[in-house]
Structure 1
Amino acid sequence: MDWKSAKFDWNHARAFLVTVEEGSLSAAARALGLTQPTLGRQVSALENELGVVLFERVGRGLTLTPNGQDLAEHVRGMGEAASRVSLTASGKSLSIEGTVCISASEVDAAYRLPPIATRLRQLHPGVNLEIVATNAESDLRRREADIAIRNYRPTQPNLIAKKVAVLKGRMFATPAYLHSLGNPQTPKGLNQADFIGFNRSNELIEVMKRFGLTLTQDNFPIISENHLVQWEHVKQGLGIGIMSQDIGNREPLVEMLLPQLAPIVVPVWLVAHRELHTNRRVRFVFDLMAQELATSL
């Protein structure tokens, strides 16, 4: 697309850029103090002026087309250049502001995001975080989140994924509970122990077989899909639980079982919509999270 040869209205371009930044026409309209129909007409006018489709309508959401991605990079550069001129003239520095929504598991949200949020607040206090703590998969294509921490590589199109670390799962329990078992030193010694499970499937039983444990459903008297609830029951001495080594080793109430065994290895991926390339604040938070997770795990 030859942008230079096309008619170009900055007001229309600004409407387009804010829509990209905010993720929806309604949010962009609020940000600009316009009605949604007025903003929609400005975006449509830009598409007509350039002769391209900039957004695909997916349900109630908007997805950038390849042409939209290309244009967003150019318009963002224009907008940032204008901001630098204005800020330089007023003696201020260019800052990153706005909201970034992060989807993470309950454990990641409770234990790994707070240090990242602290660092972010130090660097860019104008960036606000909305944290969705869930073990379910948020749909980034429908803008349920901007960034997600996942333990598998996504296969959906239009998503950007980066493997940032590998976590190591270990067995933990309180010293008092281990004492009640006779402080077992081999996997066989745990076959009569109580474990805190996450469901009634045999998934964890099969995993434990690889480490020499022979368990049945009778070994799981307490079940919870909430990982924080599981961990709290472990900390209260009600059984053995699986937790990432970095988190478990920081908890003074518990200790690691059988450290000679190999850990349960789980990859850590950061995932974002392809808008990551054009949204400055999302890109910054994504890169900061990748750096912090890589050094902490």
Structure 2
Amino acid sequence: MEWKRSAFDWNQARAFLVTAEEGSLSAAARALGLTQPTLSRQVSSLEEALGVVLFERTSRALLLTQPGLELLAHFRTMGDAATSISLAATGQSQAVTGHVLISATNGMATFYLPPILKKLRKTAPDLQIEIIASNELSDLRRREADIAIRHSRPKDETLFAKRLRDTKAHLFASKEYLDEVGRPESLADLEKLTFVGFDQPEQRLGLMASRGVNLTTANFNFSTSSVTLTLELVRQGFGVGILPVEIGADYPELENPSSAFEPISIGTWLVAHRELKTNLRIRVVFDLLAEGIG
């Protein structure tokens, strides 16, 4: 694969990178503020310059080809470098000031944000960060937050959304609780246990039934929308809870009561206003969140 230096065009590289991350030309065009034909031409020009096909175009979606997958990591590195160069050139990486309001779920704010905020403090020590730790969605259009971390893609196309890594949630229970009630030998045995969590259990029973566990509201003696409280109730032996795998695995007193239970996939989206592109302090926080979570 040979790419002449004179043929390099950062706009084409950025078009490929955003298209790969967004999953479609239409979404990438919205994210970059371009028309879809313009974006499509940039991607095609990059393919021509590289001499490879980057996307397999189907009737429903764009799929990265093997060369596209191999090049994606390199282009992401270029994108990160471009942001760093921009900050360094303006001398603002240590002079970013102002207030940024982040909205995140209770669990995300507690277990994921602190190490990222520690790095942010070193990168931009003069920033004032306010965090809304709530499972209620903040309305970015009404300026209830500058950046939101959500588990579903926003429907408002005027917002900028970046998909981060998916995580998995699984069943966890304390060893003490399982010693007391007995460890289930089948999915059906889970139906005899007590569960905690689920702020509205009746709306979650279908999710459990789809995984072969037919529960009723009688299985739930303690319900809460708080991940931190669910964790503590599970640790203290109140019953079985559903927790992100990386959180539950941090506590040696917990174990997975059923390896046959199908994990629940949890998507994560980072959402901001379109002014992300021009507001330096929001961009700095957004990029660090994307790096730390993604």
Name the TM tier (shorter chain).
0.5 to 0.7
Matched, 1:154 2:157: no
Structure 1 distance, partners of 2:292, 2:282, is: 15
Q: Distance in 2 between matches of 1:93 and 1:197?
A: 42
Contact 1:188 1:213 in 2 (8 A): yes
Structure 2 unaligned segments of length 5 or more: list them. Answer: 1-32, 34-85
1:201 shift after superposition: 4.3
**In the alignment, is residue 122 of structure 1 matched against residue 122 of structure 2?**
yes
% identical equivalent positions:
40
Are positions 1:142 and 2:142 aligned together? yes
Contact 1:98–1:128 (CA<8 Å) still a contact in 2?
Answer: yes
Q: Answer yes or no: is the 8 Å Cα contact 1:98–1:126 preserved in 2.
A: yes
User: Are the structure 2 counterparts of residues 195 and 128 from structure 1 closer, same or farther at C-alpha, using a change threshold of 3 Å?
Assistant: same
TM-aligned CA deviation for residue 289 of structure 1? 0.7
Question: Residue 197 of structure 2 contacts residue 226 of structure 2 at CA under 8 Å; is this kept in 1?
Answer: no
Quote the offset at 1:260 in angstroms.
Answer: 4.2
* Secondary structure of the structure 2 residue equivalent to 1:165: coil
1:211 is displaced (CA, Å) by: 1.9
2:279 equivalent in structure 1:
279
User: Which amino acid is the alignment partner of residue 208 of structure 1?
Assistant: M
Number of positions where the alignment pairs a residue of Structure 1 with one of Structure 2: 209
1:109 aligns with 2:112: no
Aligned residue type for 1:279 = N
| Range 249-258 or range 96-105, more displaced | 249-258
Aligned to 1:248: 248
Q: How far did 1:94 drift?
A: 5.3
**Contact preservation (8 Å) 2:201, 2:223:** no
Distance in 2 between residues matched to 1:272 and 1:222, nearest whole Å = 35
RMSD of the TM alignment (CA)? Answer: 2.2
Structure 1 residues 274, 251: CA separation in 2 closer, same or farther (over 3 Å shift)? same
Instruction: Report the AA paired with residue 147 of structure 1.
Output: I
Q: Deviations over 1:38-88 (max 9, x none)?
A: xxxxxxxxxxxxxxxxxxxxxxxxxxxx9xxxxxxxxxxxxx99x95xx7x
Cα offset for 1:93? 7.6
Q: Work out which of the two has the higher radius of gyration on C-alpha atoms and give 1 or 2.
A: 1
CA distance in 2, matches of 1:94, 1:162: 25
Aligned counterparts of 1:93 and 1:111: Cα–Cα separation in 2: 26
Once the two structures are superposed, residues 178-221 of structure 1 have per-residue CA deviations (whole angstroms, 9 ceiling, x without a partner) of 11221123211111100013234422211111222121111001
When normalised by structure 1's length, the TM-score is: 0.66
User: Are the equivalent residues in 1 in contact too, given 2:104–2:150 (CA < 8 A)?
Assistant: yes
Alignment of 1:22-33 (within 5 A): none
Tell me what 1:163 maps to.
163
Moved over 6 A (4+): none
Rate the CA distance shift 1:283–1:200 in 2: closer, same or farther, 3 A: closer
1:81-100 maps to which residues of 2 (within 5 A)? 95-100=95-100
Inter-partner Cα distance in structure 1 for 2:206 and 2:179: 26
Greater displacement, 101-110 / 185-194: 185-194
Residue in 1 that maps onto 2:235 = 235
Residues 93 and 276 of structure 1, relative CA distance in 2, 3 Å threshold: closer
Alpha-carbon spacing, 1:226–1:122, altered in 2? closer, same or farther (3 Å): same
Secondary structure of the residue aligned to 2:165 is strand
In 1, are the aligned partners of 2:171 and 2:242 still within 8 Å (CA)?
Answer: yes
CA displacement, residues 154-173 of structure 1 (integer Å, 9 cap, x when unaligned): 01142100111111011111
Q: Partners of 1:93 and 1:215 in 2: how far apart? A: 52
Matches within 5 A, 1:263-274: 263-274=263-274
1:202 aligns with 2:222: no
Q: Which moved more, 1:236-245 or 1:95-104?
A: 95-104
Q: Contact 1:170–1:257 (CA<8 Å) still a contact in 2?
A: no
CA contact (8 A) 2:165 2:293 kept: yes
Instruction: Provide closer, same or farther for how the CA distance between residues 196 and 103 of structure 1 changes in structure 2, counting only shifts above 3 A.
Output: same
| 1:252/1:93 CA distance change after superposition, 3 Å | closer
**Match for 1:284: what amino acid?**
V
Query: Which residue identity is paired with 2:184?
Result: P
